[in-house]
Copies of this chain bind each other. A is one copy, B any other.
Amino acid sequence: MVHDPNGKDCRLVGDILARVGDKWSMLVVMTLLEAPLHFNELKRAIRGVSQQMLSRNLRALERDGLVERTVHVGVPVRVEYALSDLGRSLAGPVQALGAWAARARPAIEASRTAFDREHDAQ
């Protein structure tokens, strides 16, 4: 069977996987799964993320309908980010992957060190 990443069906799946794979998106989703947050709360909750990247990620997630953005007018302005139903439905599969990663971690680390030893000694 031939797999074509540009085939119409696989196209958006690849998109999703890329989204899931990028450095911050799933961290955002997992954080918002616990509770809706304001921008800077989110920034503090996700240690190490820059404003830039957080902003970009939130935009992208909002565009895809995974995150809902609500502006509360006032002084100062407050913007609340919350997962949509679609976003919440993503949490299951992602957590499954996370659980797999946790289980597989020892095996992967062992395999890596073994592989590296063989190749460094060469």
* Residues of chain A having any CB pair with chain B under 8 Å: 1-7, 9, 12-24, 26-27, 30-31, 34, 44-48, 62-66, 86, 89-90, 92-94, 96-102, 104-105, 107-112, 115-116
Chain B residues, CB < 8 A from A64? 108, 111-112
In the bound complex, CA of A116 to CA of B60 (Å): 11
Question: Of B44, B89, B105, which one neighbours A100 at CB under 8 angstroms?
Answer: B89
A88 to chain B, nearest CB (A): 11
In the bound complex, CA of A6 to CA of B27 (Å): 12
In the bound complex, CA of A100 to CA of B105 (Å): 24
In the bound complex, CA of A19 to CA of B100 (Å): 13
Count this chain's copies in the assembly. 2
Contact A1 B107 (CB under 8 A): no
A52 to chain B, nearest CB (A): 16
Q: Using A13-B98, A65-B110, A93-B93 as known contacts, list a sample of 12 further A-B pairs with CB atoms less than 8 Å apart, ordered by residue number in A.
A: A2-B47, A3-B30, A3-B31, A4-B47, A4-B48, A5-B23, A16-B101, A17-B101, A18-B21, A21-B21, A65-B107, A92-B96
